[in-house]
């Protein structure tokens, strides 16, 4: 019984796997489980080349790179690493929001360029009390809302399902949400169901004083429409941790001071990554013991 390492893994996870199981990098009839990341997933072709594959373990909460229906039809169970990264991704979302409104990264560049000697940095936009809309009020979306409550933000949200036990106003579409807020924070899952959800029309509804924060997936935002909205000034700015074609960032964004560009670091702190590695390992271990998973995907 072997475990397929689909892609490079966190060193501590890799070490734990090698200490307990026979790890292989090529498909074979021996492979019963595959360990992968949100970025790589397991393709249908890979699944079909592994006749005895019974479990796919993801390092990461997103699993849109794996066709779960295809896996299920083949009797393969799938896990991810929810909850353990929620706080850090929410922290980064709030950091990006504050950065783009208060123009902290732009101000840092201003100081480094020596421009302070020649005049004051332009005034920015206040964070406290702003109207913020969360698109996708799941685990991370709720943690973002919780943090923004401390900033006295007026919160609303849109998900496909209205949630009965939250004190935030529900908007019945992404455009309706965007129309009523100063900042739209994208925290949905990725994949085909949310592709292009933040469309040109949603950006237009956000308006010329509106800001976009995206920590979900690049695919959720119509990226060419976003670039055009920034160029035309039909939105005020954006903080982006995720892009449509990572690690490629639209060149038109690179010299803009009204965007904060981050290299997909939502969960990228040591404690969180170790917790994700530990949970991925525990999923594999439980599968190898009794065929079940600690955190199976829904």
Q: Which residues bind ligand NAP (CB under 6 A)?
A: 61-62, 82, 85-86, 89, 136-141, 158-161, 187-190, 193-194, 197, 215-217, 241-242, 264, 266-267
Nearest distance, CB of residue 244 and ligand NAP, angstroms = 13
- Judged by beta carbon, residue 27 or residue 95, the one nearer ligand NAP is 95
Nearest distance, CB of residue 172 and ligand NAP, angstroms = 11
Order of all β-strands in the sheet with 22-24 = 22-24, 2-5, 31-37, 55-59, 77-79
Q: Are strands 169-170 and 154-158 parallel, antiparallel or unpaired?
A: parallel
Nearest distance, CB of residue 267 and ligand NAP, angstroms = 5
Nearest distance, CB of residue 157 and ligand NAP, angstroms = 8
- Judged by beta carbon, residue 37 or residue 194, the one nearer ligand NAP is 194
* 54 catalytic residue (yes or no): no
Please pick, among 103, 217, 223, 273, the residue that the annotation labels catalytic.
217
Four-point Cα dihedral 97, 146, 267, 171, nearest 10? -70
* 264 catalytic residue (yes or no): yes
Closest CA to 226 of 252, 247, 188: 252
* 158 catalytic residue (yes or no): no
Q: Would you say 10 and 276 are in contact if contact means Cβ atoms under 8 Å apart? A: yes
Closest CA to 218 of 251, 240, 192, 185: 240
Catalytic residue annotation: 217, 246, 264
């Amino acid at each position: 019984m072997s475990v397929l390492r689909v892609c490079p893994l966190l060193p501590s996870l890799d070490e734990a796997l090698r200490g307990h199981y026979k790890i292989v990098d090529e498909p074979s009839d021996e492979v019963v489980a595959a360990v992968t990341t949100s970025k790589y997933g397991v393709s249908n072709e890979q699944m079909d080349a592994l006749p005895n594959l019974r479990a796919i373990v993801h390092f990461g909460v997103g699993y849109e790179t794996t066709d779960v229906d295809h896996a299920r039809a083949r009797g393969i169970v799938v896990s991810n690493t929810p909850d353990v990264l929620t706080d850090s991704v929410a922290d980064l979302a709030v950091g990006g929001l504050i950065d783009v409104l208060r123009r902290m990264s732009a101000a840092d560049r201003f100081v480094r360029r020596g421009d302070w000697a020649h005049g004051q940095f332009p005034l920015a936009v206040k964070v406290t009390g702003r109207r913020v809309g969360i698109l996708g009020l799941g685990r991370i979306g709720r943690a973002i809302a919780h943090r923004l409550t401390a900033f006295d933000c007026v919160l609303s949200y849109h998900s496909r399902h209205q949630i009965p036990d939250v004190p935030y106003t529900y908007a019945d579409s992404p455009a309706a949400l965007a129309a009523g807020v100063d900042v739209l924070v994208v925290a949905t899952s990725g994949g085909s169901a949310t592709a292009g959800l933040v469309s040109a029309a949603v950006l237009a509804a956000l308006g010329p004083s509106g800001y976009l924060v995206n920590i979900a997936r690049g695919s959720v935002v119509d990226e060419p429409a976003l670039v055009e909205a920034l160029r035309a000034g039909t939105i005020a700015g954006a903080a982006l941790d995720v892009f449509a074609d990572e690690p490629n960032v639209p060149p038109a964004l690179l010299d803009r001071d009204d965007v904060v560009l981050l290299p997909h670091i939502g969960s990228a702190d040591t404690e969180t990554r170790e917790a994700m590695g530990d949970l991925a390992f525990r999923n594999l271990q439980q599968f190898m013991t009794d065929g079940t998973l600690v955190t199976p995907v829904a």
